[in-house]
């Protein structure tokens, strides 16, 4: 049976650095272009029936990049939140952040908290930004929280199952993604939503993220409906 359109789309926004280098510009130039592209994709979601959009902004592994690039990205995140906050409120976008905030600087975390609070009552689109996020790290942190509850006698260890652990994930209030898109031609998942995407459909596109237009997004989302999603079952 073919599926309806995806309610939850997750995107690995890859290719900013290569996009900039092809133009003889520094990698941060590409990240700025990628941030502008995100706004266009956000605006397209309601018309396509997408209620949830989750984007991979910075991974737990991205700290391995040069100090200049990491510092530039952190400045970009602060600038993006400050610049886009009021537009998000007016557009009806609810913003959430997932990932470990401990390593992020206090000013950025304060801006993240403020944006989540400002948009808490919006419902047109749910935007989740994965920042200092890694799928394995998320499961490890969730397991640690669950273990504390078990040790405190609040949860019976014999009753722990997949649903129990899912309730401790960063995404516990979100549905699992229906469709995961990765741009730039790379065909790997890079530690993104490992638990949540167990039965997601994947689409790997060659386009670098700053060139990923609304029209291409619409094409990929439209193609989802032709897929046969069986979730391990055998069709009748």
Q: Which residues are catalytic?
A: 14, 62
- Is 209 in contact with 13 (CB distance < 8 Å)? yes
Q: Is 31 helix (H, G, I), strand (E, B) or coil?
A: helix
CB contact set of 12 (below 8 Å; sequence gap of 6+): 56, 180, 181, 182, 183, 189, 190, 192
For residue 156, what are its two tokens? 């019976």
Q: Where are the alpha helices (DSSP H) in 45-123?
A: 67-91, 106-118
Strands 201-204 and 93-98, sheet pairing = unpaired
Strand order in the sheet with 179-182: 93-98, 125-133, 52-59, 8-12, 179-182, 201-204
**Nearest by Cα to 211 from 9, 23, 61:** 23
The residues facing 11 across adjacent strands are 55, 181
Phi, psi (deg, nearest 5) at residue 218: -60, -40
Q: Is 178 helix (H, G, I), strand (E, B) or coil?
A: coil
Taking the CA atoms of the chain, what radius of gyration do you get in angstroms?
A: 18
């Amino acid at each position: 049976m073919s599926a309806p359109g995806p309610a939850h789309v997750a995107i690995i926004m890859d290719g900013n650095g290569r996009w900039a280098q092809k133009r003889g510009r520094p990698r941060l130039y590409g990240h700025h272009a990628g941030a502008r592209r995100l706004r266009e994709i956000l605006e397209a979601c309601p018309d396509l029936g997408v209620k949830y959009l989750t984007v991979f902004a910075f991974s737990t592994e991205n700290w391995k990049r040069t100090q200049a690039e990491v510092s530039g990205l952190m400045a970009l995140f602060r600038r993006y939140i400050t610049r886009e906050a009021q537009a998000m409120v007016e557009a009806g976008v609810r913003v959430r952040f997932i990932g470990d905030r401990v390593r992020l600087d206090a000013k950025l975390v304060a801006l993240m908290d403020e944006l989540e609070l400002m948009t808490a009552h919006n419902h047109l689109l749910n935007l989740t930004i994965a920042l200092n996020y890694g799928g394995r790290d998320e499961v490890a942190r969730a397991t640690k929280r669950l273990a504390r509850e078990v040790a405190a006698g609040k949860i019976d260890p014999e009753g722990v199952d997949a649903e129990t652990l899912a309730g401790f994930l960063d995404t516990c209030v979100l549905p699992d993604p229906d469709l995961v898109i990765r741009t730039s031609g790379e065909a790997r998942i890079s530690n993104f939503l490992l638990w949540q995407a167990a039965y997601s459909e994947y689409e790997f596109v060659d386009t670098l993220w700053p060139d990923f237009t609304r029209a291409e997004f619409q094409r990929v989302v439209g193609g989802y409906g032709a897929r046969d999603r069986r979730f391990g079952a055998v069709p009748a």
